[in-house]
Amino acid sequence: MIEFVDVYKYYNTRAVLKGVSMRIERGETFVIIGQSGTGKTVSLRHIAGLVDPDGGDVIIDGVKMNGAKRRVKTALREKMGVLFQSGALINWMTVGDNIALPLVEHRLHPPDEIEKIVAEKLHMLQLTDARDKMPADISGGMRKRAGLARSLVRNPEIILYDEPSSGLDPVMTSVIDQLIRRMQREYNITSVVVTHDMGSAYAIADRIAMLYQGEIIQCGTPDEIRNTENPIVRQFITGSLAGPIPVV
Amino acid sequence: MSIKFIHSFFGLFGYVGQRIVDTIELTGYTLVLLLQAGFYTKNVFSKRREILKQMYIAAVKTFFVVSVVALFTGMIVALQTGIEMKAFKQEALIGNVIIATMTREMGPFMTAIILTASVGSAMAAEIGTMTVSEEVDALQMMSISPVKFLVMPRVVAMAIMVPIMTVYTNALGTLGGGVVANYQLQVSWEVYYSHVLESLHFKAVYTGLLKSFIFGLIISGVSCAQGLRATNGALGVGKATREAVVISFLMVLIIGYFITAVFYGKE
């Protein structure tokens, strides 16, 4: 379970998160939507322990992530996988070596077993032919899928997705959406997804939260969001130019 | 007018104060990074491929420029000093001057400057790009220490390669000095090398190598620290690279002076 308790985050003097509280249950797929710069990715980085809040707490399975000792953070991170926006592959390693990296570094399996796990993940994400290619030689979408394969390789309990469908074609977006659903169904994985793509959000979410100017203005099921009366949420999900969200 | 003056005075005061605080913070960060890299040297064997790759980058890829600079440094020192010495009919002693200058100062200094410009800047840019493109965050999420994975191999490689390249620079600089001594100052090779060997003191060699070892730590530590602290995309990577070069240059000069002062200041 992931819990935000009155979380504040400032960059210089600008408040990015202003008292965010939310609770994500085990096995839930929780989608965070909102405009650019409203603190969606910052929220993910709080869960990952990559940034600490200036106020409030981020609690993962009953353990406070913020201010935790390195050993505690490492233990919490071992339960997590993250798909970064660009894939974040190490650029001097092949796709296969990138996927194997966490297993090799921590010597979690013998080399032949690592090879088998990598092959399985490559197959799962339709990347078998890219095993020996360098990140610079594959498309943005393939890099993203390789990043996802790497985050899955340690069988995490929680997966954080930062814009999983950005830069992907509609077919590949559906592949990723189905994968997220399958992770939940088969392995009871908790997923926190940051996205702008409302089609994806409706397809995968158990609940959707909308962040606006550092605050959660609505949180509910996809149907509740779809039928919202909140004018800000309504404008955002319909992509309308008319409404309270200023177009800058 | 006076209020404006007071305002700008305090603005300047604040700026200088902030710069001092930033410098202290950066120094602390770099020293901690080097200590952490020292701690992770226990993993040297498992990281041997990466260390060898970094050694290759430091040596082979800078080989040509180091060779040219070393040769011409020896030639310039020999020519400038030799002309003055010739006026006193002391040009035969040029070998003593060249070997002392190269082993004590010019060898370690020139090598460090070249490696800062070529290898240090590349290190800062590479790690800076990894930082802004979230690759360093990804390492942390995989519970892989960026210090163990990125910094330690670079620090070890530079700590080994700067002294090795310094020995090469010294040798080539001495050869360059010999060419000038022979062809422009009319000092025979035998006389030149007998004087070189006469002044090739063990102390000069080990202080020079100690200097270059410390320069290797400085260049890699500063460059990695700047890379890991890069923010704001490509602009931030450019800034990190520039700062890595400037700070490394300054530190090489300042620390170089103090090492010389410690070993030769009381002679």
The pLDDT score that the predictor gives to residue A248 is 67
Contact status, residue A55 vs residue A219, Cβ threshold 8 Å: no
Whether B110 maps to a domain, the answer reads yes
The residues with which A15 forms a beta bridge, in sequence order, are: A10
- Rounded Cα gap, residues B25 and B22, in angstroms: 5
Per-residue H/E/C for A10-26: EECCEEEEEEEEEEECC
- Nearest CB to A88; choose among B137, B143, B149: B137
Whether B2 maps to a domain, the answer reads no
Please name which of A38, A25, A130 lies closest in space to residue A87, comparing C-alpha atoms. A130
> In this complex, do A88 and B138 lie within 8 Å of one another by their Cβ atoms?
yes
Whether B11 maps to a domain, the answer reads no
Which positions of chain A have pLDDT values less than 70?
A: 248
Range of the domain at B25: 18-264
Mean pLDDT of B43-63: 92
Whether B51 maps to a domain, the answer reads yes
B130 contacts on A by Cβ (under 8 Å)? 90-91
Find, in chain A, the residue whose alpha carbon is nearest to that of B53: A92
Nearest-10 crossing angle of helices B107-115, B152-183: 130
Task: Look up residue A243 and give its amino acid.
Answer: G
The pLDDT score that the predictor gives to residue A241 is 86
A88 contacts on B by Cβ (under 8 Å)? 133-135, 137-138
- Residue B21 buriedness (CB in 10 A; 0-12 / 13-18 / 19+): exposed
Structural domains of chain B, count: 1
ipTM higher than threshold 0.90: no
Mean pLDDT of B73-95: 90
Q: How far is A12 from chain B (nearest CA, A)?
A: 14
Model confidence at B44: pLDDT above 70: yes
Q: How far is A194 from chain B (nearest CA, A)?
A: 16
Whether B61 maps to a domain, the answer reads yes
Q: pLDDT tens digits, residue range A99-157?
A: 999 999 888 889 999 999 999 999 988 889 999 999 999 988 888 889 989 998 988 99
Please name which of A166, A95, A184 lies closest in space to residue A137, comparing C-alpha atoms. A95
> Whole-number mean pLDDT of chain B?
92
Model confidence at B229: pLDDT above 90: yes
Kind of pairing between the strands at A14-24 and A158-162: unpaired
Sign of the C-alpha dihedral computed for residues B86, B90, B94 and B100 taken in this order: negative
Whether B4 maps to a domain, the answer reads no
Please name which of B70, B56, B65, B59 lies closest in space to residue B169, comparing C-alpha atoms. B70
Find, in chain B, the residue whose alpha carbon is nearest to that of A106: B144
A77 contacts on B by Cβ (under 8 Å)? 140-143
The pLDDT score that the predictor gives to residue B1 is 58
Write out the two tokens for A80. 């997590």
B142 contacts on A by Cβ (under 8 Å)? 77, 101-102, 105, 150, 154
> In this complex, do A88 and B134 lie within 8 Å of one another by their Cβ atoms?
yes
Q: pLDDT tens digits, residue range B91-143?
A: 889 999 999 999 999 999 999 999 999 999 999 999 999 999 999 999 999 98
> In this complex, do B133 and A80 lie within 8 Å of one another by their Cβ atoms?
no
